Amino acid sequence: MFTFLDYNYDKLSNTATFRYQGKDNIIFTEKVKFAGQITDYNEKILDSALFLAFVILGTSYYKAEPTTSVKLPQKIDKAKKFFFDKIYQEGLSQFAFENHLKRSNLANFEAKEPLESSTTNTISGPEKTLCLVSGGKDSLLSFEKLRQQGKNLEIAYISANGAYPRILDELGTPLIINREIDKENLKKAGGLNGHVPVTLINEAISLVQAILIGTSHIEFGIGREGLEPHAWIDDLPVNHQWSKTEEAQNLIKNYIKTYVAKNITVGSCLENFTELQIAKEFAEKCWDKYAGKFSSCNVANYKQDEDNKTLKWCGKCAKCANSYLLFCPFVSFEKQKEIFGRDLFEDPELKEIFKGLLGIDGVMKPFECIASIDELRWAYEHKLPGYGELNF
Protein backbone atom coordinates (compact mmCIF):
# COMPACT_ATOMS: atom_id res chain seq x y z
CA MET A 1 0.00 0.00 0.00
CA PHE A 2 1.06 3.58 -0.70
CA THR A 3 -0.04 5.85 2.14
CA PHE A 4 -0.54 9.62 2.02
CA LEU A 5 0.46 10.39 5.60
CA ASP A 6 -0.07 14.10 6.24
CA TYR A 7 0.62 17.66 5.16
CA ASN A 8 1.02 20.98 6.95
CA TYR A 9 1.94 24.60 6.36
CA ASP A 10 4.26 26.62 8.61
CA LYS A 11 3.58 30.34 8.28
CA LEU A 12 6.79 31.38 10.00
CA SER A 13 9.00 29.70 7.39
CA ASN A 14 6.38 29.97 4.59
CA THR A 15 6.91 26.26 3.93
CA ALA A 16 4.55 23.38 3.24
CA THR A 17 5.54 19.80 4.14
CA PHE A 18 4.05 16.67 2.55
CA ARG A 19 4.72 13.13 3.83
CA TYR A 20 4.11 9.75 2.20
CA GLN A 21 4.89 6.11 3.03
CA GLY A 22 5.76 3.52 0.42
CA LYS A 23 5.31 -0.24 0.39
CA ASP A 24 8.65 -0.80 2.15
CA ASN A 25 7.68 1.65 4.93
CA ILE A 26 10.12 4.29 3.70
CA ILE A 27 8.75 7.73 4.58
CA PHE A 28 9.13 10.36 1.88
CA THR A 29 9.08 14.03 2.91
CA GLU A 30 8.79 16.84 0.40
CA LYS A 31 9.02 20.51 1.31
CA VAL A 32 7.91 23.49 -0.77
CA LYS A 33 9.09 26.93 0.31
CA PHE A 34 6.87 29.67 -1.05
CA ALA A 35 7.79 33.28 -1.79
CA GLY A 36 6.43 36.79 -1.56
CA GLN A 37 4.53 38.76 1.05
CA ILE A 38 1.96 36.57 2.83
CA THR A 39 -1.53 38.09 3.08
CA ASP A 40 -4.39 37.34 5.46
CA TYR A 41 -5.40 34.16 3.67
CA ASN A 42 -8.49 32.06 4.37
CA GLU A 43 -7.25 28.96 6.22
CA LYS A 44 -9.99 26.72 4.82
CA ILE A 45 -9.16 27.73 1.25
CA LEU A 46 -5.46 27.20 1.91
CA ASP A 47 -6.06 23.76 3.43
CA SER A 48 -8.14 22.68 0.41
CA ALA A 49 -5.35 23.79 -1.94
CA LEU A 50 -2.71 22.05 0.17
CA PHE A 51 -4.70 18.80 0.06
CA LEU A 52 -4.83 18.97 -3.75
CA ALA A 53 -1.06 19.59 -3.87
CA PHE A 54 -0.58 16.74 -1.37
CA VAL A 55 -2.28 14.27 -3.70
CA ILE A 56 -0.68 15.45 -6.95
CA LEU A 57 2.87 15.77 -5.57
CA GLY A 58 2.53 12.22 -4.31
CA THR A 59 3.04 10.93 -7.87
CA SER A 60 6.78 11.59 -7.49
CA TYR A 61 6.99 9.03 -4.66
CA TYR A 62 4.23 6.62 -5.62
CA LYS A 63 6.09 5.77 -8.84
CA ALA A 64 9.00 4.25 -6.87
CA GLU A 65 6.73 1.40 -5.74
CA PRO A 66 3.45 1.53 -7.71
CA THR A 67 0.47 -0.33 -6.30
CA THR A 68 -3.30 -0.35 -6.83
CA SER A 69 -3.85 0.20 -3.11
CA VAL A 70 -3.56 3.79 -1.89
CA LYS A 71 -4.74 5.33 1.38
CA LEU A 72 -5.62 8.96 2.05
CA PRO A 73 -5.94 10.48 5.55
CA GLN A 74 -9.49 11.64 4.72
CA LYS A 75 -12.42 10.33 2.74
CA ILE A 76 -13.12 11.67 -0.75
CA ASP A 77 -16.23 11.75 -2.92
CA LYS A 78 -16.64 10.16 -6.35
CA ALA A 79 -15.74 13.34 -8.26
CA LYS A 80 -12.41 13.60 -6.43
CA LYS A 81 -11.80 9.88 -6.94
CA PHE A 82 -12.40 10.28 -10.68
CA PHE A 83 -9.85 13.11 -10.92
CA PHE A 84 -7.26 11.43 -8.70
CA ASP A 85 -7.57 8.13 -10.60
CA LYS A 86 -6.99 10.07 -13.83
CA ILE A 87 -3.86 11.69 -12.39
CA TYR A 88 -2.42 8.36 -11.26
CA GLN A 89 -3.38 6.51 -14.46
CA GLU A 90 -3.46 8.85 -17.50
CA GLY A 91 -0.96 11.16 -15.79
CA LEU A 92 1.44 8.26 -15.26
CA SER A 93 0.82 6.58 -18.63
CA GLN A 94 4.34 7.19 -19.96
CA PHE A 95 5.73 5.82 -16.70
CA ALA A 96 3.50 2.76 -17.12
CA PHE A 97 4.57 2.25 -20.73
CA GLU A 98 8.27 2.45 -19.94
CA ASN A 99 7.94 0.09 -16.97
CA HIS A 100 5.63 -2.45 -18.67
CA LEU A 101 2.64 -1.72 -16.44
CA LYS A 102 -1.08 -1.60 -17.25
CA ARG A 103 -3.93 0.53 -15.95
CA SER A 104 -4.82 -2.37 -13.64
CA ASN A 105 -1.41 -2.00 -11.95
CA LEU A 106 -1.96 1.68 -11.08
CA ALA A 107 -3.63 3.48 -8.19
CA ASN A 108 -7.34 3.13 -7.56
CA PHE A 109 -8.68 5.56 -4.94
CA GLU A 110 -11.65 4.75 -2.70
CA ALA A 111 -14.70 7.03 -2.65
CA LYS A 112 -17.55 7.69 -0.26
CA GLU A 113 -21.09 8.86 -0.85
CA PRO A 114 -22.55 11.41 -1.36
CA LEU A 115 -20.80 14.12 -3.40
CA GLU A 116 -19.48 17.03 -1.37
CA SER A 117 -21.32 20.32 -1.77
CA SER A 118 -19.55 23.01 -3.78
CA THR A 119 -17.57 25.56 -1.81
CA THR A 120 -18.96 29.03 -1.27
CA ASN A 121 -15.54 30.41 -0.36
CA THR A 122 -13.94 33.17 -2.40
CA ILE A 123 -10.52 34.74 -2.31
CA SER A 124 -10.19 38.50 -2.13
CA GLY A 125 -7.12 40.53 -2.96
CA PRO A 126 -5.56 42.78 -5.58
CA GLU A 127 -6.49 42.28 -9.23
CA LYS A 128 -3.19 40.59 -10.02
CA THR A 129 -2.24 37.57 -12.14
CA LEU A 130 0.35 35.05 -10.96
CA CYS A 131 2.16 34.26 -14.21
CA LEU A 132 4.40 31.17 -14.31
CA VAL A 133 7.36 31.70 -16.63
CA SER A 134 10.04 29.12 -17.45
CA GLY A 135 11.94 30.88 -20.22
CA GLY A 136 10.46 28.80 -23.03
CA LYS A 137 8.54 30.12 -26.02
CA ASP A 138 5.05 29.39 -24.65
CA SER A 139 5.43 31.04 -21.24
CA LEU A 140 7.25 34.07 -22.65
CA LEU A 141 4.58 34.57 -25.31
CA SER A 142 1.78 34.34 -22.73
CA PHE A 143 3.62 36.87 -20.54
CA GLU A 144 4.00 39.31 -23.45
CA LYS A 145 0.36 38.94 -24.49
CA LEU A 146 -0.88 39.60 -20.95
CA ARG A 147 1.46 42.54 -20.49
CA GLN A 148 0.20 44.08 -23.73
CA GLN A 149 -3.33 43.68 -22.37
CA GLY A 150 -2.29 45.79 -19.38
CA LYS A 151 -2.57 43.00 -16.82
CA ASN A 152 -0.94 43.44 -13.43
CA LEU A 153 1.50 40.51 -13.40
CA GLU A 154 3.41 38.76 -10.64
CA ILE A 155 5.88 36.37 -12.27
CA ALA A 156 6.93 33.15 -10.60
CA TYR A 157 9.23 30.19 -11.19
CA ILE A 158 9.28 26.80 -9.49
CA SER A 159 12.85 25.70 -8.81
CA ALA A 160 14.36 22.44 -7.56
CA ASN A 161 17.53 24.09 -6.24
CA GLY A 162 16.85 27.81 -5.83
CA ALA A 163 18.31 28.69 -9.23
CA TYR A 164 16.25 30.23 -12.03
CA PRO A 165 16.78 31.49 -15.61
CA ARG A 166 18.12 35.04 -15.51
CA ILE A 167 15.91 35.99 -18.46
CA LEU A 168 13.15 36.29 -15.85
CA ASP A 169 14.92 39.32 -14.37
CA GLU A 170 14.12 41.18 -17.58
CA LEU A 171 10.41 40.66 -16.92
CA GLY A 172 10.36 41.86 -13.32
CA THR A 173 11.31 40.52 -9.88
CA PRO A 174 10.34 36.85 -9.91
CA LEU A 175 8.94 34.91 -7.00
CA ILE A 176 11.14 31.82 -6.70
CA ILE A 177 9.25 28.87 -5.22
CA ASN A 178 11.67 26.19 -4.06
CA ARG A 179 10.56 22.56 -4.30
CA GLU A 180 12.71 20.22 -2.18
CA ILE A 181 12.14 16.69 -3.53
CA ASP A 182 13.12 13.85 -1.19
CA LYS A 183 15.83 12.46 -3.49
CA GLU A 184 17.65 10.69 -0.66
CA ASN A 185 14.72 8.43 0.21
CA LEU A 186 13.77 7.96 -3.43
CA LYS A 187 17.29 6.66 -3.98
CA LYS A 188 16.99 4.44 -0.91
CA ALA A 189 13.66 3.05 -2.13
CA GLY A 190 15.11 2.17 -5.51
CA GLY A 191 12.24 0.73 -7.50
CA LEU A 192 10.87 2.29 -10.65
CA ASN A 193 11.37 5.70 -12.19
CA GLY A 194 9.62 7.68 -14.90
CA HIS A 195 7.70 10.74 -16.00
CA VAL A 196 5.12 12.39 -13.71
CA PRO A 197 2.33 14.90 -14.56
CA VAL A 198 4.60 17.85 -13.90
CA THR A 199 2.25 20.53 -15.26
CA LEU A 200 -0.43 19.55 -12.73
CA ILE A 201 2.23 19.46 -10.01
CA ASN A 202 3.28 23.01 -10.89
CA GLU A 203 -0.32 24.19 -11.06
CA ALA A 204 -1.07 22.76 -7.61
CA ILE A 205 2.01 24.46 -6.14
CA SER A 206 1.10 27.73 -7.89
CA LEU A 207 -2.43 27.54 -6.50
CA VAL A 208 -1.05 27.56 -2.95
CA GLN A 209 1.31 30.40 -3.84
CA ALA A 210 -1.54 32.47 -5.28
CA ILE A 211 -3.67 32.00 -2.13
CA LEU A 212 -0.78 33.05 0.11
CA ILE A 213 -0.20 36.32 -1.79
CA GLY A 214 -3.92 36.99 -2.21
CA THR A 215 -4.46 36.69 -5.95
CA SER A 216 -7.20 34.68 -7.65
CA HIS A 217 -5.76 34.48 -11.18
CA ILE A 218 -3.06 32.02 -12.28
CA GLU A 219 -1.63 31.96 -15.81
CA PHE A 220 0.14 29.00 -17.38
CA GLY A 221 1.46 29.28 -20.94
CA ILE A 222 -0.21 26.11 -22.21
CA GLY A 223 -1.36 25.72 -25.80
CA ARG A 224 -3.48 23.00 -27.38
CA GLU A 225 -1.28 20.00 -26.60
CA GLY A 226 -1.41 16.32 -25.80
CA LEU A 227 -4.29 15.37 -28.09
CA GLU A 228 -2.23 12.78 -29.95
CA PRO A 229 -1.19 9.72 -27.87
CA HIS A 230 2.27 8.25 -28.46
CA ALA A 231 0.96 4.69 -28.01
CA TRP A 232 -1.71 2.65 -26.20
CA ILE A 233 -1.67 0.11 -23.36
CA ASP A 234 -5.00 -1.64 -23.94
CA ASP A 235 -7.50 1.13 -23.07
CA LEU A 236 -4.86 3.46 -21.57
CA PRO A 237 -3.61 6.21 -23.93
CA VAL A 238 0.11 6.79 -23.45
CA ASN A 239 0.70 10.52 -23.40
CA HIS A 240 3.75 12.42 -22.22
CA GLN A 241 1.77 15.62 -21.75
CA TRP A 242 -1.59 14.38 -20.49
CA SER A 243 -1.54 17.06 -17.79
CA LYS A 244 -1.54 19.70 -20.56
CA THR A 245 -4.57 18.28 -22.37
CA GLU A 246 -7.93 20.02 -22.41
CA GLU A 247 -9.33 17.14 -20.33
CA ALA A 248 -6.74 17.52 -17.56
CA GLN A 249 -6.98 21.30 -17.52
CA ASN A 250 -10.78 21.24 -17.31
CA LEU A 251 -10.59 18.72 -14.47
CA ILE A 252 -8.27 20.85 -12.35
CA LYS A 253 -10.23 24.04 -13.10
CA ASN A 254 -13.48 22.37 -12.03
CA TYR A 255 -11.84 20.86 -8.94
CA ILE A 256 -10.58 24.28 -7.81
CA LYS A 257 -13.95 25.98 -8.35
CA THR A 258 -15.81 23.16 -6.59
CA TYR A 259 -13.53 22.39 -3.65
CA VAL A 260 -11.08 25.29 -3.15
CA ALA A 261 -12.56 28.70 -4.06
CA LYS A 262 -15.19 29.47 -6.64
CA ASN A 263 -13.48 32.61 -7.98
CA ILE A 264 -9.95 31.26 -8.51
CA THR A 265 -9.12 30.94 -12.20
CA VAL A 266 -6.33 28.81 -13.60
CA GLY A 267 -5.80 28.99 -17.33
CA SER A 268 -3.81 30.12 -20.31
CA CYS A 269 -4.30 32.87 -22.85
CA LEU A 270 -2.84 30.33 -25.32
CA GLU A 271 -5.27 27.50 -24.59
CA ASN A 272 -6.87 27.70 -28.06
CA PHE A 273 -3.54 28.10 -29.88
CA THR A 274 -1.91 25.22 -31.73
CA GLU A 275 1.85 24.82 -31.45
CA LEU A 276 2.19 26.26 -34.95
CA GLN A 277 0.20 29.35 -33.99
CA ILE A 278 2.36 29.81 -30.90
CA ALA A 279 5.54 29.52 -32.97
CA LYS A 280 4.22 32.02 -35.51
CA GLU A 281 3.24 34.58 -32.87
CA PHE A 282 6.49 34.11 -30.97
CA ALA A 283 8.47 34.65 -34.19
CA GLU A 284 6.55 37.85 -34.88
CA LYS A 285 6.35 39.33 -31.38
CA CYS A 286 9.16 37.85 -29.30
CA TRP A 287 12.01 36.48 -31.42
CA ASP A 288 14.02 39.67 -31.77
CA LYS A 289 13.57 40.46 -28.06
CA TYR A 290 14.45 37.03 -26.67
CA ALA A 291 16.60 35.33 -29.33
CA GLY A 292 19.71 33.90 -27.72
CA LYS A 293 18.07 34.09 -24.28
CA PHE A 294 15.06 31.77 -24.42
CA SER A 295 15.05 27.99 -24.74
CA SER A 296 12.49 25.19 -24.85
CA CYS A 297 15.13 22.47 -24.47
CA ASN A 298 14.64 20.33 -21.36
CA VAL A 299 17.91 18.42 -21.69
CA ALA A 300 20.12 21.50 -21.46
CA ASN A 301 18.16 23.41 -18.83
CA TYR A 302 15.65 21.58 -16.68
CA LYS A 303 17.38 18.54 -15.21
CA GLN A 304 17.43 18.47 -11.42
CA ASP A 305 20.33 20.26 -9.73
CA GLU A 306 21.71 21.69 -12.99
CA ASP A 307 22.48 25.39 -13.31
CA ASN A 308 20.03 27.00 -15.71
CA LYS A 309 20.78 30.65 -15.12
CA THR A 310 21.67 30.96 -18.82
CA LEU A 311 19.27 29.00 -21.01
CA LYS A 312 20.78 26.85 -23.75
CA TRP A 313 19.84 24.43 -26.53
CA CYS A 314 21.50 21.00 -26.70
CA GLY A 315 20.68 20.63 -30.41
CA LYS A 316 20.45 16.83 -30.03
CA CYS A 317 17.04 16.18 -28.44
CA ALA A 318 13.46 15.86 -29.64
CA LYS A 319 12.48 19.21 -28.10
CA CYS A 320 15.21 21.02 -30.04
CA ALA A 321 14.20 19.27 -33.27
CA ASN A 322 10.54 20.05 -32.60
CA SER A 323 11.28 23.76 -32.03
CA TYR A 324 13.47 23.89 -35.14
CA LEU A 325 10.62 22.43 -37.21
CA LEU A 326 7.99 24.74 -35.75
CA PHE A 327 10.05 27.87 -36.38
CA CYS A 328 11.34 27.03 -39.87
CA PRO A 329 8.26 28.49 -41.69
CA PHE A 330 8.49 31.74 -39.68
CA VAL A 331 12.17 32.31 -38.78
CA SER A 332 14.96 32.51 -41.34
CA PHE A 333 17.61 29.80 -41.50
CA GLU A 334 20.28 32.39 -40.65
CA LYS A 335 18.51 33.33 -37.40
CA GLN A 336 17.98 29.72 -36.32
CA LYS A 337 21.59 28.91 -37.18
CA GLU A 338 22.69 31.64 -34.74
CA ILE A 339 21.05 29.56 -31.98
CA PHE A 340 21.74 25.98 -33.08
CA GLY A 341 25.04 26.55 -34.92
CA ARG A 342 24.05 24.34 -37.86
CA ASP A 343 21.16 23.06 -39.95
CA LEU A 344 19.48 20.39 -37.82
CA PHE A 345 17.82 18.90 -40.92
CA GLU A 346 21.26 17.84 -42.17
CA ASP A 347 22.40 16.26 -38.88
CA PRO A 348 22.47 12.45 -39.33
CA GLU A 349 22.26 11.93 -35.55
CA LEU A 350 18.77 13.46 -35.56
CA LYS A 351 17.41 11.26 -38.34
CA GLU A 352 15.38 8.93 -36.11
CA ILE A 353 14.11 11.80 -33.98
CA PHE A 354 12.80 13.63 -37.07
CA LYS A 355 11.22 10.38 -38.28
CA GLY A 356 9.33 10.12 -34.99
CA LEU A 357 8.26 13.77 -35.11
CA LEU A 358 6.99 13.40 -38.68
CA GLY A 359 5.49 9.93 -38.31
CA ILE A 360 7.82 8.18 -40.76
CA ASP A 361 8.63 4.44 -40.97
CA GLY A 362 6.58 3.63 -37.88
CA VAL A 363 9.03 5.41 -35.55
CA MET A 364 7.15 6.34 -32.35
CA LYS A 365 6.65 9.98 -31.47
CA PRO A 366 9.29 10.98 -28.90
CA PHE A 367 8.17 11.36 -25.30
CA GLU A 368 8.31 15.14 -25.06
CA CYS A 369 5.99 18.15 -25.15
CA ILE A 370 5.87 18.40 -28.93
CA ALA A 371 3.46 19.38 -31.70
CA SER A 372 1.23 17.01 -33.62
CA ILE A 373 2.59 15.06 -36.59
CA ASP A 374 0.33 16.98 -39.00
CA GLU A 375 1.55 20.35 -37.69
CA LEU A 376 5.19 19.35 -37.98
CA ARG A 377 4.70 17.97 -41.50
CA TRP A 378 3.06 21.25 -42.51
CA ALA A 379 5.94 23.21 -40.97
CA TYR A 380 8.55 21.19 -42.89
CA GLU A 381 6.69 21.58 -46.19
CA HIS A 382 6.47 25.36 -45.67
CA LYS A 383 10.02 26.00 -44.43
CA LEU A 384 11.63 29.21 -45.59
CA PRO A 385 14.43 29.22 -48.22
CA GLY A 386 17.91 28.32 -46.96
CA TYR A 387 17.02 25.24 -44.92
CA GLY A 388 18.42 21.90 -46.03
CA GLU A 389 16.52 18.70 -46.69
CA LEU A 390 15.99 15.74 -44.41
CA ASN A 391 17.86 12.69 -45.69
CA PHE A 392 14.87 10.34 -45.82
Q: How many other β-carbons are positioned within 10 Å of the β-carbon of residue 134?
A: 25
Nearest one of 68, 67, 73 to 20, comparing CA atoms:
73
Query: How high is the pLDDT of residue 161?
Result: 85
- In sequence order, what E strands does the chain have? 2-10, 15-21, 27-33, 70-71, 129-132, 153-159, 175-180, 217-220, 231-233, 236-238, 265-267
Range(s) within the chain of domains with CATH label 3.40.50? 2-108+121-267
Prior bond of 114 cis (ω within 30°): yes
Q: How many other β-carbons are positioned within 10 Å of the β-carbon of residue 333?
A: 16
State how far the Cα of 266 lies from the Cα of 216, in Å rounded to an integer: 8
Nearest one of 155, 351, 382 to 279, comparing CA atoms:
382
For 93-134, give the DSSP string: HHHHHHTT--GGGS-B---BSSPPPPP-------S-EEEE--
Strand 2-10 versus strand 236-238 pairing type: unpaired
CATH assignment, 2-108+121-267: 3.40.50
Per-block average pLDDT, block size 10, for the chain (392 residues)?
Answer: 97 97 92 94 96 98 95 96 97 96 96 89 88 94 94 94 90 95 94 93 97 94 85 92 94 97 93 95 95 86 69 93 97 96 95 96 91 96 96 88
Query: How high is the pLDDT of residue 302?
Result: 67
Q: Can you give the pTM of this predicted structure? A: 0.94
Query: How high is the pLDDT of residue 306?
Result: 65
